[in-house]
Structure 1
Amino acid sequence: MISRALKAQLRAQRLAARDAIPSESRIEKSLVMAEAGGAAIDFVPGTEVSGFFPIKSEVDVRPLMQRLKDKGASLSVPVVVDKQTIVFRELVAGVPLVSTGFGTFGPGPDARVVDPEIMLVPMSAFDRIGHRIGYGAGFYDRAISRLHDMGRQPRLIGVAFDCQEIEVIPAEDHDVALDAILTESGFKVFGKELA
């Protein structure tokens, strides 16, 4: 059994490193990532892509989400519906946003709930083979598990800054590895490098 204390320590270290990035630099890095991700993430028009609105010092994926929308993606964002569950609600221009938990906003309860085919996944840390540490609440782990139970295999693309990488994440049996990671250094599909 992997120590929760070890994961908590790794999470705190990487979040502190992320918090130390000056806000102007975070904006610049996020724009670089939007350019790289917009070029590298392939899909057919109409594909359901979940993004997220940034909280605290997270990567701002809104410019990337706009690029993916311009390529034909249908966008959604996570919404906390109870202490255990997030769902992904369709994000449509002009629809009012409401408080959706964790200090972020999203579409209200009348919005269409979707099952993402590509998920942009936030995190506190990642390693070079695709394991990640989230924020400790397990929302994404449960959402991914629920999609798998439905027979769906969403493409999981982690989004983080380079400073959030660590040598090895202590993975557990229930942890699902990412398919790719996007940082300011570029887009990496696990098992092969892309520019």
Structure 2
Amino acid sequence: MSAASKHLAREAAKRRRDAAHAALAASAPALIARHFLSAVPLPPECSIAGYAAIGSEADPAELLRQLDAAGHVCSLPAVETRQAPLVFRRWRPGERLVPGDHGTRAPAPGAPLCRPGILLVPLLAFDGAGRRLGYGGGYYDRTLAALRASGSAVLAVGVAFSAQEAQDLPEDDFDQRLDWIVTEKEARRFGAAPGR
């Protein structure tokens, strides 16, 4: 797919996500938490990396609050080096966040580093094979590739509104597929992806 086609696909996906957010922002976080906790396997003391939602992203804040209350270590991503994998810093709900790259918010630079076993992933669109359309920066693809190449058992769980599902998203060689998608309607596991 050409860069121009991907740009148009991202614009269309962003419009769908904006509309879903306008309709579901108040109710979706609790539903996403419920579906995740009832379906996604959580090993004891598993470390979970979330994200601080920006714009119309599906918000995992309620899920992170419940995971923290259950004793799981939670972290949020930070960009330390551009064009490199993300790092994850320990964070508990209610702790201060600082401005990060690309409009994100991250834990303070002195927060301890974590290695997640589950990575919650924001997105513009997903499809039935676990493909994900992101923002084009490649941060999550690089991060998942590095974690998987190191032998770490990591689950990539997309967090989205059900309206963000698309058909047959384009896939480049470097793209990393999702293991799960969790929306306000369900938690769905995908099959083994190529290159896993």
TM-score by length of 1: 0.89
User: Root-mean-square deviation (CA), in Å?
Assistant: 1.7
Q: Is the 2:65–2:93 contact (alpha carbons within 8 Å) kept by the matching residues of 1? A: no
Matches within 5 A, 1:44-193: 44-85=43-84, 86-92=86-92, 95-191=95-191
Once residues 162 and 92 of structure 2 are traced to their aligned partners in structure 1, the CA distance between those partners, rounded to angstroms, is 31
Amino acid at match of 1:136: G
Once residues 126 and 132 of structure 1 are traced to their aligned partners in structure 2, the CA distance between those partners, rounded to angstroms, is 4
Q: How many percent identity over aligned positions? A: 36
Gaps spanning 5+ residues in structure 1: where? Answer: none
Once residues 22 and 119 of structure 1 are traced to their aligned partners in structure 2, the CA distance between those partners, rounded to angstroms, is 22
Query: Is the partner of 2:20 in helix, strand or coil?
Result: coil
Once residues 125 and 150 of structure 1 are traced to their aligned partners in structure 2, the CA distance between those partners, rounded to angstroms, is 27
Once residues 128 and 28 of structure 1 are traced to their aligned partners in structure 2, the CA distance between those partners, rounded to angstroms, is 24
TM-score by length of 2: 0.89
CA offset digits 1:118-161 (Å, max 9, x no partner)? 00111111100100011111111111122123221310111111
Amino acid at match of 2:116: P
The change in CA–CA distance for 1:33 and 1:93 in structure 2 (over 3 A counts) is closer
- Report the Cα offset of residue 12 of structure 1: 1.1
Once residues 94 and 177 of structure 1 are traced to their aligned partners in structure 2, the CA distance between those partners, rounded to angstroms, is 31
Larger proportion of strand: 1
Q: Is the 1:30–1:184 contact (alpha carbons within 8 Å) kept by the matching residues of 2? A: yes
Once residues 111 and 185 of structure 2 are traced to their aligned partners in structure 1, the CA distance between those partners, rounded to angstroms, is 35
Query: Is the partner of 1:21 in helix, strand or coil?
Result: helix
Does structure 1 residue 36 correspond to structure 2 residue 48?
no
CA offset digits 1:155-176 (Å, max 9, x no partner)? 0111111111111011111112
Moved more, 4-13 or 88-97: 88-97
Gaps spanning 5+ residues in structure 2: where? Answer: 192-196
Aligned residues: 190
Query: Is the partner of 1:156 in helix, strand or coil?
Result: strand
Q: Is the 1:123–1:135 contact (alpha carbons within 8 Å) kept by the matching residues of 2? A: yes
Q: Is the 1:27–1:60 contact (alpha carbons within 8 Å) kept by the matching residues of 2? A: no
Moved more, 4-13 or 89-98: 89-98
CA offset digits 1:29-56 (Å, max 9, x no partner)? 2221111112222212321100001000
Once residues 108 and 182 of structure 1 are traced to their aligned partners in structure 2, the CA distance between those partners, rounded to angstroms, is 28
Query: Is the partner of 2:62 in helix, strand or coil?
Result: helix
Amino acid at match of 2:124: S
